[in-house]
Chains A and B, each alone.
Chain A
Amino acid sequence: MAVNAGRDLPKLGAVIAIGVLALLPMARLPAFYDSFLYLVFFWVSLSTSWALLSGFAGYFSLGHAAFFGVGVYVTADLTTKFGWPFLATLPVAAALPALLALGIGAIVFRLRRLRGELFALLTLSVTFVIATIILNTPIDGGGGIFMSAVPLPAIMPTPTGSIYLLGFVICVATLAIAWTVAHSRLGMGLFAIHDDEDVAEAKGVPTLRYKLIAFALSAGIAGAVGGVHAMYVGFITVSGTFELTVPLYVVLMSVLGGARNWFGPAIGATVITVLLYAFISGGEAMIGRAIVGVILISAILWLPDGAVPAAKQWLARRRRVPAHPPPAAVAPVVPPARPVGERALLQVRGAAKRFGGLQALGGVDLDVREGEILGLVGPNGSGKTTLINVISGFYSLTSGTVTVAGVEIGNLPAHEIARRGVARTYQIPRPFVNMTVLENVVLAATFGNPSRPAAETRDEALHWIGFTGLSGKEAVLPGGLNLHERKFLELARALAAKPKLLLLDEVLSGLNPAEVDNAIRLVRAIRAQGATIVFVEHLMRAVVELSDRIAVLNEGKLFALGAPREVMRDPRVVSIYLGKAYAA
């Protein structure tokens, strides 16, 4: 029991705190306390909801005021113009902004040029558009809306107490949602999107769907908060609702507390609300705004990850707890080599890829048999990596087809291809930089396979970490690995998806001879487990040693195909390769 006490005590404390805070208005404190605490809950809910998309997935939105404002006006209009009871408007106040976010997301997340700062400005623009529409239509009409005639349900002895309780309920619900998301598949996917969206997609994360879900959740919560806030404010105007301070404070609070942590925004929101209150009560509201600006600048410059992560690191260092889990004991895997099958696993037919006027692939036909290792070689710019990118779905085909195990995958999104058993590595390793080695591999294992219990996925990830010789590095961030280890982390991530087809893009380049031998053994062991491998390589020794067949690409076309030694002796191949073969 003593062991559990440490873990259960915070939970018990949280339950008691929630109970006490929920019943606080019963104590009939002066209305000031209810109102002040309501504002804390208000900002905690808003900033936490903002972080669901912007903190977790890294798409900074400056348009949170738009969703909040739509919620405010839904409640204001439905209660005053249509006579709805106040509580009945709240689901609509949440649903409408969520739908709006889905609409905006469905448009902007499809733009291939969408970068972070463009998203920030687009969301900011949306705020202006919505504010203009509301101002010019009967939704507001320019005169503002009085809420004083709207009856407030007496769920607490005082009106301020009732609003307090509603704000508190939304706040707790928001934190619960944030915690749940952060510890779920969705959260894992969002964190991966934050680090490298293309790689996340290639590992099987449905990036578009996840961003849309996070955006809708974020906007929906903001709308519900707005609905309650309409009652708190009492008199609603467009300029007061769509104020720029909302996105400013929300971003500030989240960044200050740590936007990638589910609890970070709550800490930031509490600190800033108290600070702002201190200035406003001192009659210096303008100065307060300026000081908040100064704090934001300082926080971004000196504390880029936020207070909560910084505090966590500091605690971890002080305790000197060995942060990594015990390395899993991995049995050496040496299954017998399987014969190359007759059936073609990968069929490429007439694959063409054009970038504007540049023909990178000009109609490639290629069959790769089950269990085969196919070496893909060719001079620089011959289309090797493009072919890998086309098969893995990073580029869409201009024309032609690609089938894996009889299923056409040519025009599927990359994450669907990943789920059909295609995994790849990158020439320059692209790990998720804010995730540990273990988390990197767990992500690939989670999204590359049908869903399973977390413990099972974790054990499997540990197995592949051991298999690639990275045991003991589980808790290390990729920044702490050397090139050799980063290349092997690429392999571990690819393997964790248990691929039918593994695409290796120059895994050996930059390795020293001993490391190359090690990697060759590893590739053999991977094949022995039943994977079919296509690998791009310049190192001829490895190509000849490993490949069952070699395909030579030149200027986007298949130039030669056959047994390694024959192909490499072909005078035509030597002529396009002259110099390179010896240089390697």
Chain B
Amino acid sequence: MPSATLLGQALISGVLAGGLYGLLAMGLSLSWGLLRLVNLSHFALAFLAAYIVYELGTSYHVEPWWSAAMVVPLMFAIGAGQHWLFDRFKVNELASLLITFSFAVILEVAIQLYWTADFRRYETEYATRSIKAGPFYIPVLELVLCIVAGLLAWGTWLWLRRTYVGKALRAAAEDPAIAAAYGVDHKKLAYLLSGIGAAYAGIAGTFIALIATLAPAQIWAYLGVVFAVVIIGRLGNPMGALLAGMLIGASESIAMAVLSPAWAPVVSFSVLIAILLWDPEWL
């Protein structure tokens, strides 16, 4: 059994790493929960964004924050564009899953053709900075990520909760025709929401570029964990997604410290299956 300090450090790193899961899960959770569309290409979009940030940073020495300012609107446009396709063909949940799966494969191929299958690392001065708090180290980038994710989740949650948008979208998800009859302009909102979801992928991608090593096949690395997070956090609930992400991140990190790093992927699914079987009211 590892020492208390090690476990505490594992917990901190895990919660912070979970912020990325949460950030990735938020966009998915919104489109799945409120638009009834499952967007598997969300991960591919995040990696596309990460590669663009990487490219701008290494080849043109653009600061990552400026790159983000360019990438996020681009992702918004792609998200809205995808929604045009879904809207035009009246795509249902399952078909959206298959279509975005294919779309992700196409993006993966495109990334591989341009950036090759090699591992890429975007070295920045931020990557190694950390704050020392007592016996623990807190990496600055991950902390920023968690703060950004927290603000976004909170803002989105307020937006859905306080304005009529959330209700309108939920109503439209239940029965678009009836909602339309009550004057809900579902279509415009759906485009906006799809765009926002993809923009979140852009933000997540920026952090991925700074934190992680990039390779085309990594697109699929987050898939399972993040979907577990989306389901545990409750569909359509950005705050839930972030909290679930941190929960999964912490459990993985502790499992790594106690067992071995290679076992981490099993943790999220064990948590997911356990929660699905428990079947609590809030799910």
Q: Check if A116 sits within 8 Å of B272, measured CB to CB.
A: no
**In the complex, chain B residues whose CB is within 8 Å of the CB of A574:** none
Q: Check if A290 sits within 8 Å of B97, measured CB to CB.
A: no
Q: Within 8 Å of chain B (Cβ to Cβ): is A488?
A: no
Q: Within 8 Å of chain A (Cβ to Cβ): is B165?
A: no
> B94, B112, B220, B224: which contacts A60 (Cβ < 8 A)?
B94
Give Cα A293–Cα B100 distance, bound, in whole angstroms. 9
Q: Within 8 Å of chain A (Cβ to Cβ): is B101?
A: yes
Q: Check if A294 sits within 8 Å of B266, measured CB to CB.
A: no
Q: Check if A297 sits within 8 Å of B102, measured CB to CB.
A: yes
Stretch at the interface among A7-15, A126-134, A310-318, A531-539: A126-134
Q: Check if A128 sits within 8 Å of B97, measured CB to CB.
A: no
CB distance from B101 to the nearest CB of A (A): 7
Q: Within 8 Å of chain B (Cβ to Cβ): is A117?
A: yes
CB distance from B233 to the nearest CB of A (A): 14
**In the complex, chain B residues whose CB is within 8 Å of the CB of A286:** 109, 112-113
Q: Check if B102 sits within 8 Å of A128, measured CB to CB.
A: no
**In the complex, chain A residues whose CB is within 8 Å of the CB of B6:** none
**In the complex, chain A residues whose CB is within 8 Å of the CB of B272:** 122, 125
Which range contains the number of A residues in contact with the other chain? 35 or more
From DSSP, what is the main secondary structure of chain A's interface residues?
A: helix
Q: Check if A107 sits within 8 Å of B102, measured CB to CB.
A: no
Q: A121-B231, A286-B112 are in contact. List 15 more A-B contacts (CB 8 A).
A: A111-B276, A113-B283, A118-B231, A121-B38, A125-B227, A128-B224, A252-B102, A290-B105, A290-B109, A292-B102, A293-B102, A293-B109, A297-B103, A300-B91, A301-B89
From DSSP, what is the main secondary structure of chain B's interface residues?
A: helix
Q: Within 8 Å of chain A (Cβ to Cβ): is B59?
A: no
Give Cα A107–Cα B99 distance, bound, in whole angstroms. 28
**In the complex, chain A residues whose CB is within 8 Å of the CB of B281:** 356
With A107-B277, A125-B224 in contact, is A120–B94 under 8 Å at CB? yes
**In the complex, chain A residues whose CB is within 8 Å of the CB of B223:** 124, 128
The 9 closest A-B pairs by CB, nearest first: A293-B102, A290-B109, A128-B224, A293-B105, A296-B102, A132-B265, A293-B106, A136-B262, A117-B93
Q: Within 8 Å of chain B (Cβ to Cβ): is A135?
A: yes
Q: Within 8 Å of chain A (Cβ to Cβ): is B250?
A: no
**In the complex, chain B residues whose CB is within 8 Å of the CB of A290:** 105-106, 109-110
CB distance from B221 to the nearest CB of A (A): 9
Residue of B nearest to A300 (CB): B95
> A107, A116, A122, A255: which contacts B93 (Cβ < 8 A)?
A116
Interface bits A288-312 vs B (CB < 8 Å: 1, else 0): 0110111011001100100000000
Q: B interface vs A, CB < 8 Å?
A: 32, 38, 85, 89, 91, 93-95, 97-99, 101-103, 105-106, 109-110, 112-113, 220, 223-224, 227-228, 231, 260, 262-263, 265-266, 269, 272-273, 276-277, 279, 281, 283
CB distance from B218 to the nearest CB of A (A): 13
Q: Within 8 Å of chain B (Cβ to Cβ): is A100?
A: no
> A116, A124, A294, A300: which contacts B224 (Cβ < 8 A)?
A124
A-B CB contact pairs (8 Å), 28 listed: A60-B98, A107-B273, A116-B94, A117-B32, A118-B231, A120-B94, A121-B231, A124-B223, A125-B227, A126-B269, A129-B266, A132-B263, A132-B265, A248-B105, A251-B98, A286-B109, A290-B106, A290-B109, A292-B102, A293-B102, A293-B109, A296-B102, A297-B99, A297-B102, A300-B95, A300-B98, A301-B91, A356-B281
> A117, A125, A126, A248: which contacts B94 (Cβ < 8 A)?
A117
**In the complex, chain A residues whose CB is within 8 Å of the CB of B228:** 125
Give Cα A118–Cα B101 distance, bound, in whole angstroms. 15
Residue of B nearest to A110 (CB): B277
Give Cα A255–Cα B38 distance, bound, in whole angstroms. 18
CB distance from B235 to the nearest CB of A (A): 10
Q: Check if B97 sits within 8 Å of A117, measured CB to CB.
A: yes
Residue of B nearest to A132 (CB): B265
CB distance from A211 to the nearest CB of B (A): 16
Residue of B nearest to A111 (CB): B276
Give Cα A289–Cα B104 distance, bound, in whole angstroms. 11
Q: Check if B105 sits within 8 Å of A289, measured CB to CB.
A: yes
> Of residues 251 to 304 in A, which have CB atoms within 8 Å of B's CB atoms?
251-252, 255, 286-287, 289-290, 292-294, 296-297, 300-301, 304
Give Cα A118–Cα B273 distance, bound, in whole angstroms. 12
> A121, A133, A252, A293: which contacts B266 (Cβ < 8 A)?
A133
> A128, A287, A292: which contacts B265 (Cβ < 8 A)?
A128
Q: Within 8 Å of chain B (Cβ to Cβ): is A244?
A: yes
Q: Within 8 Å of chain B (Cβ to Cβ): is A28?
A: no
> A125, A135, A292, A293: which contacts B262 (Cβ < 8 A)?
A135
Q: Within 8 Å of chain B (Cβ to Cβ): is A115?
A: yes
Give Cα A113–Cα B276 distance, bound, in whole angstroms. 9
**In the complex, chain A residues whose CB is within 8 Å of the CB of B110:** 290
Q: Check if B101 sits within 8 Å of A248, measured CB to CB.
A: yes
> Of residues 75 to 118 in A, which have CB atoms within 8 Å of B's CB atoms?
107-108, 111-113, 115-118
Most buried by B among A108, A128, A287, A292: A128
**In the complex, chain B residues whose CB is within 8 Å of the CB of A300:** 91, 95, 98-99
**In the complex, chain A residues whose CB is within 8 Å of the CB of B38:** 117, 121
Most buried by A among B106, B112, B263, B279: B106
> A135, A287, A304, A356: which contacts B95 (Cβ < 8 A)?
A304
Most buried by A among B85, B99, B113, B263: B99
Give Cα A289–Cα B101 distance, bound, in whole angstroms. 12
Q: Check if A293 sits within 8 Å of B103, measured CB to CB.
A: yes
CB distance from B259 to the nearest CB of A (A): 9
**In the complex, chain A residues whose CB is within 8 Å of the CB of B260:** 136
Residue of B nearest to A285 (CB): B109
Q: Check if B269 sits within 8 Å of A128, measured CB to CB.
A: yes
CB distance from B157 to the nearest CB of A (A): 22
CB distance from B55 to the nearest CB of A (A): 20
**In the complex, chain A residues whose CB is within 8 Å of the CB of B85:** 301
Give Cα A252–Cα B227 distance, bound, in whole angstroms. 22
Give Cα A293–Cα B105 distance, bound, in whole angstroms. 7
Q: Check if A111 sits within 8 Å of B279, measured CB to CB.
A: yes
CB distance from B142 to the nearest CB of A (A): 24
Residue of A nearest to B216 (CB): A286
Residue of A nearest to B272 (CB): A125
Give Cα A136–Cα B99 distance, bound, in whole angstroms. 33
Q: Check if B106 sits within 8 Å of A294, measured CB to CB.
A: yes
Give Cα A255–Cα B99 distance, bound, in whole angstroms. 12
> Of residues 229 to 253 in A, which have CB atoms within 8 Å of B's CB atoms?
244, 248, 251-252
**In the complex, chain B residues whose CB is within 8 Å of the CB of A126:** 269
**In the complex, chain B residues whose CB is within 8 Å of the CB of A136:** 260, 262-263
**In the complex, chain A residues whose CB is within 8 Å of the CB of B98:** 60, 251, 255, 296, 300
**In the complex, chain B residues whose CB is within 8 Å of the CB of A251:** 98, 101
**In the complex, chain B residues whose CB is within 8 Å of the CB of A129:** 265-266, 269
CB distance from B114 to the nearest CB of A (A): 11
CB distance from A249 to the nearest CB of B (A): 10
